[in-house]
Structure 1
């Protein structure tokens, strides 16, 4: 039994750091977006905002999970978590200013099609990011 628990401390370290990174990502993503998805979801029951933030979190977490799985050391995990976070934040910026300049209005007005496209792009970038981290 003792042998089975040897990995508990590294697990708790990586898992705790992963959860903290998810919270940090959510905060930074909210700062980057001109609207507060959590408020739109909680207050207005805005489905588009829920899809949007859900896709962003899922995309980031896919890459974060790959960073945890493929890291050779904790410091390596931290570096790749930062890269994953940057990739997702840059993705939203590119979508907002280049691909779909009206995405903010679409989400605020609960236009689901725009949110699905944004979520799909975020998830796709997260999957690609995760695959590229499997060195």
Structure 2
């Protein structure tokens, strides 16, 4: 049985819907995350602050992993939106918990200290990976 181009493209509207939703959540996450932190990551990154780039990059990856899992395992666009919101809340909570352990994290990242930025990025990515795995059960 051969498949026509129309058969292959039948899933395209769902792809677009899930993709646009995920990109929207990613943009929202970055906006919320950068509002929650006390420093302007994008300004710091533009000024060459590598620590800010590492921290923001790790946080984005930590959010993107469960977001991708949400897209992959969702039963509908509404299901995807709900799990994406859960992912967003989890990643912001991870940031707040890490700040309890490293209360001067923002200052150290603003000052360009790479060590705290790397551990923050690693913990963000680890939490995202765990959240992504938990969504697939």
1:2-28, CA deviations, whole angstroms, 9 ceiling, x for partnerless residues? 100011110000001111100000000
How far 1:102 sits from its partner (Å)?
A: 1.4
* Unaligned stretches of 5+ residues in structure 1: none
Partner of 2:96: 93
- TM-score normalised by L of structure 1: 0.97
- Write out aligned runs for 1:1-135 (5 A): 1-42=5-46, 44-96=47-99, 98-135=100-137
1:53-99, CA deviations, whole angstroms, 9 ceiling, x for partnerless residues? 00010000000000110111111101100000000000101111x11
Higher radius of gyration, 1 or 2 = 2
Structure-1 separation of matches of 2:27 and 2:77 = 19
What SS is found at the alignment partner of 1:2? helix
Structure-2 separation of matches of 1:71 and 1:35 = 34
**May I ask how many residue pairs the two structures share in their alignment?**
133
Q: CA RMSD in A?
A: 0.6
- TM-score normalised by L of structure 2: 0.95
What SS is found at the alignment partner of 1:52? helix
How far 1:103 sits from its partner (Å)?
A: 0.7
